[in-house]
Every structure is written in structure tokens, then in C-alpha cells.
Amino acid sequence: MSTNVFSQVETLLELVERPSRYINHEWGASALDPNADYRACMMYPDTYEVGQANQGLAILYSILNAQEGVSCERAYTPWIDMADCMRALDIPLYGLESGDALKDFDLIGIQYPHEMAVTNILESLDLAQIPLFSKERSLDDPLIIAGGPSVLNPEPIADFFDCVLIGESEEQIIKFVDAHRKALAEGLSREDMLFALSQVPGVYVPQFYAELPKEEQSRAIYAPIKEGVPEKVKRQIVTGFKNTDPLASHIVPYAATVHDRVAIEILRGCSRGCRFCQAGMAYRPVRERTADQIVSAVLEGLKKTGYDEVSLTSLSTTDHSQIEEILTRLNKRLAITGVRISLPSQRMDSFGVEMAALVSGSKKGGLTFAPEAGSQRLRNVINKNITEEDIEKSIEGAFKAGWRRIKLYFMIGLPSETDDDLRAIGELAQRAYEIARDNCEPSQRSAIQITCSAAIFVPKSHTPYQWFGQVHPDEIKRRIEVLKESMPQKGVRLNYHASDTSYLEAVLARGDRSLAQLIYEVWKRGARFDAWTEQAQEKLWFETAEELGFNLLELACKSYGYKDPLPWAHIDSLVLNNYLEMEDLRSKMSQITEDCTFGLCTYCGVCTRTNADIDLAGDRLVE
């Protein structure tokens, strides 16, 4: 019998901020199947307004509710005021649709969107009154699984999860739930059930893997300890991307979310090959929806939700081969409706500016570009395939087309970075300001806003820079001073993010299973919502780490050799390790690698290691 807590929750709503985070019956939410014999919940480890906007969870929510006999709900991490009230009154975390306690469900799927969500994962499990460690759970507890962008190195969170789904889960989640339902029907023991689930492609069951003795560690640190589980768990990709529903969610929340609009994923994957970008490696190969499918999905989404804005999402939206046709058709269909189309990512070239102009109409807000580095040398090092001419033409085109505000994003601490590279950021900012002044009327020059933002580079697993350690914070502080001195005195604003959070992120991105002890202890001492600037407790992390014998700066700044064992080596991203090594070597020689969408195959291995047919003319996956 399920425990329904809505009546208790109602008494708290007047005591907490944004009570709409905790109530149900939003427009478009799935109606629960009263005859379902299997109950799942998709959880996002952050507040409602952040999690409800997540496309990944929305996709899985829709897919599971379409399966016969399966009912799927949503849950989010309550904000601090609500969490404290729930603990004081012993109210467990619940599914938003039914109000039933999560501890009574069969499956809880938790998105791992970024490394700093780790304490919120524990916060959510504890509020749900579910044991935090997998080894402490029994068959009476829900199965706790993880997925999402950050599971390519699952080891720091491995002890908290029964299973980790590696890769894209649209097809995988159906197979997984079918296997779980079968195991429950057969009355299997917990170990036998987990073994059965480990046979589903792309499913990693951490308890069946352990650290090898030092003398046996060659390339990998962790290896199977149970016969029959895969030596390497392969990332799954959706080969039928065009057949999936482009309108992931029809839900209209009561309150504004971080992306309060219809979101249509038009393209998956990116082959530009930026060497620092994990997503660019981990979501290969490139797959597109057709223009007809995208336009139909946009119109359907607007009709079902009533939103007045549509976002065409992907890692690089303006790389879609039919983007000009898509935008032209949408502009015609949506003329005089007041609906705005937004492109969250665009190319830094004249074509990108042209596409931005197509959707902005007379409303020119701001344009954001990401040169990443100030000098051409360093852009070649990181394989950011844009030239000085591309950058200058983009800025010129933007101001000629009527924009008066642009943002330029850079990273500090990239491999081989020198002071000259940092000074080049200031020189680029100065040129941007001069180009802006030359391409707008004198009466409009006071409206020019150029903002340069700089963040600390964080190395990630399964990229050509996975072997690279971070630059020590003392040196980063010195480099920031060099950057500040290089900036123009007029017309340009510099924002920089030099928080210790970047080092915590690096440790969690490349760390091993021993970090679970640290994560647990830091959460126990009060850390939660670490990704929120006002809640971040870097000092607590570093003090706790020191007590437990971890040197976080040493871990963040640690470099690996190509032959060193890596904590994530038993996870196969489908991108060949030889390719990553070669890309790192090309980086050291400042050599660029062409985008295989427009040039020759770069032999990363993804296409040849899948069962999909490949269109060799364009190296795009054909469904």
C-alpha cells in the first residue's frame, strides 16, 4: 500500500517560497494508469524550475508512460526551506503526479547532469527515506539508477547507484524496464536481478566491478569480479533518432522555469571536434531530424502549450543541414503571431549571424559567441575551427544587422596557454569594440555592450584532454591579472569565474570510487545545491577532504600518461582511445582536425563501431 503525502504537504505550502514547485496537475502532465503494475519516477537533482526544463528527463517520462502497464512520475530536489520542513515532520519525498512516497516505487531514475549535483543526489535519496548506498538496499527498496551527461565517469557516484545507464536511453530504458519487470515477476534475489540487468546493453552495475591490485592495473583501474558481466560497458546510441518524438514535453508549469518555452531537439551530436568538449565526443555521431518533422513539431508544441517562444536545441543548432529552410518556413508560418524562435547555439561565422537575424526580426537582444581562446594559435590547439576573419566578420555582421550587445566566452588554463594568449583576449576585445563602433550610427554607439566572460578550463573524461591536469589556482590568479591588465579601458566589460568550484568539478569529473566517502561526509555536514553560487561551500569540501586524507588540489591538477590506468577506462564511449591520443598529439603541434561532416572521416571509431548504415558522402547517420 502506497503512502500518499499530499495532505501533509499542503500544510507546508504557505510556509515555503514558490509553493508551485510542490503541487501537481500541471497542464499536459501524464495521467496515471490506475492499472499499471510497475511504477517508475524520473528525478532531477535540483529545483523544479531547473529540472522541469530538462529535455532528457522529459523524453524518458514520455517514453515510459507510453509503455503498457508502466506508470511514470516526476520528482525534484526540494529547496532548503521545504526540505527542512519535510524532515521535521517526517514527510518523505514523493512523486509529483500521485503524491505517493518514492520509497514505494519500483524504479527511481536520477539524472546526473553535472558533477556538482552529487550532494543533491544524496539529499534527494535521504528525503525519500531510501538508503543512500546501494549495498544497504534490499528488494523492498526501489531500484536506483543513474543516467545523463556526467555518467561517462560513474565511479565517484558508483556506490550510491544500483545501476548506471551509459549513453542515450530512449531505446535502452524500455529494455531495462522490461528486464526489471521480468526479474520482479520471477522473484529473483537482488544479486540475480542485478546480474540480469547487467546483460542489458549499456548497463553498468558497479557492485560487479572492483579495483584491480596495483600490479594488475594496465589501462584500467576497475574490472569485473563477476563472471558474465561485460569487461567494458559500451555507450548506447539511438540509431532511430528521426523516429523519436521531437516534442519531448507538453507540460506547462504553474511558474516560470529556466527555459520557459517549447523546446525541440533538431539535431543530436556534434563532429566539430573541440578537444575540450566532452559532449562533442560523447554524443557522436551527428543525426538530424528532417525539416518537415521539425516544423510540424514546433506548430504542434505551440498549439498544445500556448507558449510564445520556441527553442531549437542541439549542441550546434546552426550546423543543421536544413537550418535555413527550417527558419524560413517557421518565419512564414508564425508571421504576425508574436511567437519568437531562439537558437541557443550558433556558429561563429557570417552564416551563424545570418541565421540569428532570420529569427530575431526587429527584436535584437544580445548575441553570444564562444571563441574560447584569444589567439589563433591556441584556437588551433583546442581545435576550435574558427579564424580571426570568422570572428571579425561575425562581429561586423552582428552590428550591421542591428545588434548592439554581444558576449564573448573564453577559457583560462587551457593546455599550452601562455601570457601572450591571454593578452590576445584583450586585443580581440579591443578589435570587437572598434568593429562595433565602425558598424553602427554615431547616435547608437553609447548602446554598444561587449562582455567578455572567462571560466577556468575543467578537463573531462573521454576527451583528448582527459590526461591533462588543471592549472594550480595560484597560477590561475596570476593569469587572471594578466588578462585584466590586457583588457581595453573603455567599452568592454570582463567577467571571470575563478571559484574553487572548478577544482571540485575537475576532481569529480576524473576521480575514482573512493570519492563516495568524501561526497557522503560533505553532504552529512550540510552541503547541498553546490551548483548555486549562494549555496556553494567550497571551504567545507576542502576542509572535509583534508580530514579524510584527500588532497583536492593535487587530484585536480594531476596529469596522466597515455599508459596510466584511468578510473573510467572500463566505460567505452565508442570514441577510440587511439583517436583521443592522436588528437592530443595534434593539439600539442597546434594542428587542426577537420569536421567530418564537411570533410573526410577522422576515424574516431563511433560510426564503424555501431550497426548503423553510414552515408559516406556526408558521414551522417542514416536511419
pLDDT tens readout for residues 40-81: 999 999 999 999 999 999 999 999 999 999 999 999 999 999
Residue pair 416/588 in contact (Cβ under 8 Å)? The answer is yes
Considering only 320-329, 352-361, 443-452, 569-578, which range has the smallest mean pLDDT?
A: 352-361
- pLDDT for position 235: 97
Torsion of CA 593, 595, 600, 606, to 10 degrees: 100
pLDDT winner (highest mean) among 145-159, 208-222, 353-367, 607-621 = 145-159
Residue pair 496/455 in contact (Cβ under 8 Å)? The answer is yes
- pLDDT for position 508: 97
Considering only 151-155, 168-172, 351-355, 561-565, which range has the smallest mean pLDDT?
A: 351-355
Residue pair 176/197 in contact (Cβ under 8 Å)? The answer is yes
Mean of per-residue pLDDT scores for the chain:
92
- pLDDT for position 361: 63
Mean pLDDT, to the nearest integer, of 168-195? 97
Q: Of residues 467 and 363, which shows the higher confidence score?
A: 467
What does each C-alpha distance from 185 to 33, 37, 142, 190, 266 come to in angstroms?
A: 19, 11, 15, 13, 39
What does each C-alpha distance from 519 to 93, 117, 118, 121, 544 come to in angstroms?
A: 21, 10, 7, 10, 9
Coil vs helix vs strand at 39: strand
Beta-carbon contacts of residue 178 (< 8 Å; ≥ 6 apart): none
Helices (H), 459-537: 473-486, 501-510, 515-524
Q: Which three cell numbers stand for residue 81?
A: 526551506
Give the residue among 520, 446, 396 at the shortest CA–CA distance from 136: 520
Cell numbers 518523505 correspond to 92
- pLDDT for position 622: 34
Residues β-bridged to residue 107:
40, 143
Output b/e per residue, 89-110; b: 16+ Cβ within 10 A: eebbbbbbbbbbbbbbbbbbbb
Q: Which three cell numbers stand for residue 14?
A: 504557505
pLDDT tens readout for residues 234-267: 999 998 888 888 988 889 999 889 988 999 999 9
309-313/340-342 β-pairing: parallel
Give the residue among 412, 413, 375 at the shortest CA–CA distance from 391: 375
Domain ranges in the chain?
Answer: 6-234
362 pLDDT band (50/70/90 cuts)?
low
- pLDDT for position 242: 85
pLDDT tens readout for residues 111-138: 999 999 999 999 999 999 999 999 999 9
pLDDT winner (highest mean) among 309-313, 332-336, 445-449, 513-517 = 513-517
- pLDDT for position 347: 76
pLDDT tens readout for residues 30-42: 888 889 999 999 9
- pLDDT for position 614: 39
Asked if residue 615 has pLDDT above 80, the reply is: no
Asked if residue 509 has pLDDT above 90, the reply is: yes
- pLDDT for position 349: 76
pLDDT above 70 coverage of the chain, percent: 97
Class of CATH domain 6-234: alpha beta
pLDDT tens readout for residues 451-507: 999 999 999 999 999 999 999 999 999 999 999 999 998 889 999 987 789 999 999
Element housing 621 (H / E): strand 620-622
- pLDDT for position 316: 87
Rounded Cα gap, residues 88 and 11, in angstroms: 13
Asked if residue 97 has pLDDT above 60, the reply is: yes
Rounded Cα gap, residues 452 and 276, in angstroms: 19
- pLDDT for position 363: 64
Give the residue among 504, 422, 410 at the shortest CA–CA distance from 455: 410
- Per DSSP, 27 falls in state B
- pLDDT for position 618: 34
Torsion of CA 196, 200, 204, 209, to 10 degrees: 50
Element housing 40 (H / E): strand 38-44
Mean pLDDT, to the nearest integer, of 100-107? 97
Provide the whole-model pTM: 0.94
621 pLDDT band (50/70/90 cuts)?
very low
Asked if residue 416 has pLDDT above 50, the reply is: yes
